[in-house]
Amino acid sequence: MKILSVLSLVLLISCSKGGSGGGGETPTPAPQISITDLSLFEGNGGTTTFPVEVKLSNKSSKEVKVQYSTIEGFAKAGEDYTAVTNQTLTFAPNETTKTINITIVADLIKEGDDDFTVQLSAPVNATISKADAKVIIRNDDTKISFTNTGYEAPTTYPGYTLDWADEFNNTSLDASIWSNQNGDGCPGNCGWGNNELQYYTNRPQNIFFQDGKLVIEANKESFSGKSYTSSKILTSGKKKIKYGRIDIRAKLPTGQGIWPAFWMMPQDDVYGGWPASGEIDIMEMVGHEPNRTHGTVHYGTGWNDRKNISKSTTTSTGTLHDKFYVYSLEWKENEIKWFLDGNLFATLTKADLGAYNYPFNEYFYLIFNLAVGGNWPGSPNAATYFPQWLIVDYVRVYKPN
């Protein structure tokens, strides 16, 4: 019995060492392939090489291959980078790290942090554990790109004399005309009464001057509890207007959730709080309708009895983002007219308000702002590009003779 037991033990050990195949070490598992996200600055001219790293989880005695391609995001192939389609990356035996070199087009133009994807597919002698790498081309430029193309308003009108103007040829706001209104409206009027998502600042990231233009920039960034920043300026207490003509030449932003406006509020609430003392909107555009401008008045007896009359017009071709347009208001006693590039598209008279008080024969002040989100435009979506720019060439205010 003792001899048999020893023999059985020897046989058991022999089987466990040899396995079913008989003699040899456990084979190395097939490696897993992963690709690493990358974020680098674009550069300022020519091209820049972005090295995207691809790794194997372990060495392999076999040659490993995998295909890779680029997929557009906000970065566009041919414009921001050189596209790659179904190229093969080969790992020699025992090699665990390789680099995919992507050519980035560098320039001096300010833009957002653009992104694209490098995607792996069709592995040979391996499996893929992470197939996509997000590649971010970080902006390191300061000058935005635009031309001066578009309509130019006349500099004189019969029956009117230029009262004041701002051609925005300086490097800072004219403090004799403008003030900033910063914040998010809280605590008294959070979201500025419209559930807007931006925080207004006077930082150079949100308001600056370039080539004789005022630029208001909306950014997607965390700031003071908000997810977006922008800027808002007004003439309250400095330049008040009652009757005349106002011309504003501007190139508008675009995109879901984007809401630029040139508008007017009463210098004195003669008839009570909003909207009883009125509001005049010279231009409003919601970014999902980039070819339409709205002219509107708000009135009523109070918040629970608020009224508005709104008219709009569209461009004949293209959008309000493509070039500069001139947004004009001609304002007389008991009458307001709206123009786009000198073409009348809406008229309001005192009679249009019916039995309601007509509050538009008082002094008002100007407001320029670029809002993000809100009840009317809705929130930005994944396709909304940031930054967005409201670019103003000039504002000219004429008084009646």
Length, in residues, of the chain: 401
Provide the Cα torsion 295, 301, 303, 308; round to 10°: -20
Residue 351 phi/psi, 5° resolution?
Answer: -65, -25
The pLDDT assigned to 19 comes to: 43
Helix (H/G/I), strand (E/B), else coil: 14: helix
Strand 179-180 versus strand 232-234 pairing type: antiparallel
Structure tokens at 354: 């019916």
373 DSSP assignment = S
Q: Is the peptide bond before 93 cis (omega within 30 degrees of 0)?
A: no
The pLDDT assigned to 28 comes to: 77
Element (H, E) at 395: strand 388-400
pTM for this entry? 0.89
The Cα 19–Cα 147 span in angstroms is 76
The CATH homologous superfamily of the domain defined by 32-138: CalX-beta domain (2.60.40.2030)
The pLDDT assigned to 317 comes to: 95
User: Over its length of 401 residues, how does the chain's per-residue pLDDT go in tens digits?
Assistant: 444 443 343 334 444 444 444 455 667 789 999 999 999 999 998 999 999 999 999 999 999 999 999 999 999 999 999 999 999 999 999 999 999 999 999 999 999 999 999 999 999 999 999 999 999 999 999 999 999 999 999 999 999 999 999 999 999 999 999 999 999 999 999 999 999 999 999 999 999 999 999 999 999 999 999 999 999 999 999 999 999 999 999 999 999 999 999 999 999 999 999 999 999 999 999 999 999 999 999 999 999 999 999 999 999 999 999 999 999 999 999 999 999 999 999 999 999 999 999 999 999 999 999 999 999 999 999 999 999 999 999 999 999 99
What amino acid is encoded at 83 in this protein? Answer: A
* Residue 119, beta-bridge partner list: 69, 132
Residue 126 phi/psi, 5° resolution?
Answer: -165, 170
Structure tokens at 57: 């989880």
Q: Which of 276, 265, 268 is nearest to 299 (CA)?
A: 276
User: What is the domain partition of the chain in residue ranges?
Assistant: 32-138, 160-400
160-400 carries CATH number 3.30.930.10: no
Burial of 305 (0-12, 13-18, 19+ CB in 10 A): exposed
Q: Which residue in this structure is represented by tokens 């971010």? A: 136
Q: Which residue in this structure is represented by tokens 């409201």? A: 390
Q: Which of 31, 35, 55 is nearest to 125 (CA)?
A: 31
DSSP assignment string, 338-361:
EEETTEEEEEEEGGGGTTS---TT
The Cα 317–Cα 3 span in angstroms is 101
Largest Cα–Cα distance in the chain? Answer: 129
DSSP assignment string, 175-202:
TTT-EE--B--TTTSGGGGTT--EEE--
The Cα 33–Cα 56 span in angstroms is 5
Catalytic residue among 279, 289, 330, 362: 279
The pLDDT assigned to 25 comes to: 62
Please state whether 13 falls in left (phi above 0), alpha (psi between -120 and 50) or beta: alpha
Catalytic residue among 42, 111, 217, 284: 284
Buried-state track 85-113, b at ≥16 Cβ within 10 A, e below 16: eeeebebeeeeeebebebebbbbeebbbb
Q: Are 133 and 118 in contact (CB under 8 A)?
A: yes
Structure tokens at 65: 């291959």
Element (H, E) at 329: strand 325-332
H helix runs in 53-202, sequence order:
none
- Is 279 noted as a catalytic residue in this protein? yes
Helix (H/G/I), strand (E/B), else coil: 336: strand
Helix (H/G/I), strand (E/B), else coil: 334: coil
CA distances from 251 to 177, 257, 285, 340, 392 (A): 21, 17, 11, 13, 7
The pLDDT assigned to 26 comes to: 66
Q: Are 271 and 277 in contact (CB under 8 A)?
A: yes
Q: Which residue in this structure is represented by tokens 């050990």? A: 13
